[in-house]
Amino acid sequence: MVNGVVRVCTTRRKRSEEIPSLMIGAIFSLEALGPGSRVDELCPRRSPRIGATGAKALAIGWLALCAAGGASAACSVERVGTTELVEARDQFELPVVINGSPAIHFLVDTGAEKSAIDTSLAQKLALPEIGRRGHLIGSDGLKGRTFSDVTTDRLALAGVAHVSFPLAVGDLLIPGKPTAQAVIGANLLAQYDVEFDFLGKRLNLYRVRNCHQDSSEFKPWATPHDVVPLKAGFRNLLSLPISIDGKVLELLLDTGAVRTKISMDAARKLGLDIEKLKAYAQRTTSYAHSGRSMTNYSQRFNRVQIGESSYRNVEIKIAGIEVKTYDGLLGLDFLRTRKVWVSYATRQLLVEQTPVKRRRPPRPE
């Protein structure tokens, strides 16, 4: 589908479980009609030879298909799974069952492209390799440890089973450092809308159908909340605009990051003197998924705005990170005190509103 136009080219006779297929002439099949889509193109598998009768049938079918495309189905939101969130190392994990094994805690990471497990854990579970190999690339933008792909017969998350689900396998554990042994990334999370109740330690998965960003029917919460538009990037990664001292940056939504960080280039956009920052700012050390350490420099800003929520006197880390086209990472320090709904279906971030007296700024280092 391009720009809301469904272009159907299929060689298979297949009936969707959700949207009825319409077969006419040289085998046309409407298998997917997205929110706000219109049907104005069809692709025959081959140019059929049809007579007058066939042409008439084709025209009738075409009109019926256009009518079906013009009638939009109702926006619906259905909860399909729920599970506990476990806080560990200032991050949040959830139990996952692989091939019937005892539950394993996976870090929930919207900033990770792929779901992954540590090599030792994959060996323990005897997961077969698919054969693909690559490198783990961390937020420093550098190639790090190698990984290979394996497949699971059955991966169960929040009561929802995924058959033949692929996982990247690499050395996720860093000796002497508190790191997660497994990660659930965007390749799985993007199949749902995800509700994070960080204070209540709960995660819910929802199936959202026929809803879009401008849909007035998409109202999953009755309680007051802010709505922030999201941009979909490479491999289902999501980003959002935030204002820092009046200047807008685009940050990757990253529930795997404990702290919000911006790059050196982003710091320059904000008018900071990098040499002075490195000379006088407080320093801490963290580790990227590449396995390399990086130095973080602390900087306080007068005002940070995310949607309708405003924070003052906020400390943000500045580091040598390279996260593709983004200016940095929006981490748990801005998310953990709220209920948050990440809508992959409608490209929105819903953030629970809290009374001003209860609203807390990001926690200090």
Per-residue pLDDT reduced to its tens digit, 223-273: 999 999 999 998 899 999 999 999 999 999 999 999 999 999 999 999 999
Integer Cα distance of 38 and 5 in angstroms: 5
Per-residue pLDDT, 51: 60
Whether residue 259 contacts residue 186, with contact meaning beta carbons closer than 8 Å, is answered with no
Integer Cα distance of 45 and 24 in angstroms: 12
- Summarised one tens digit per residue, pLDDT across range 273-285 is 999 999 999 999 8
- Sign (positive/negative) of CA torsion 250, 255, 259, 264? negative
- Sign (positive/negative) of CA torsion 185, 191, 193, 194? negative
- The pTM score is 0.76
Whether residue 182 contacts residue 112, with contact meaning beta carbons closer than 8 Å, is answered with no
Q: Residue 305: enclosing H or E segment and its boundaries?
A: strand 293-306
Per-residue pLDDT, 190: 97
Integer Cα distance of 270 and 297 in angstroms: 15
- Sign (positive/negative) of CA torsion 174, 178, 180, 186? negative
| Backbone angles phi and psi of 255, in degrees to 5 | -75, -5
Whether residue 220 contacts residue 245, with contact meaning beta carbons closer than 8 Å, is answered with no
Residues of the chain with pLDDT under 70: 1-72, 131-146, 174-178, 289-291, 355-365
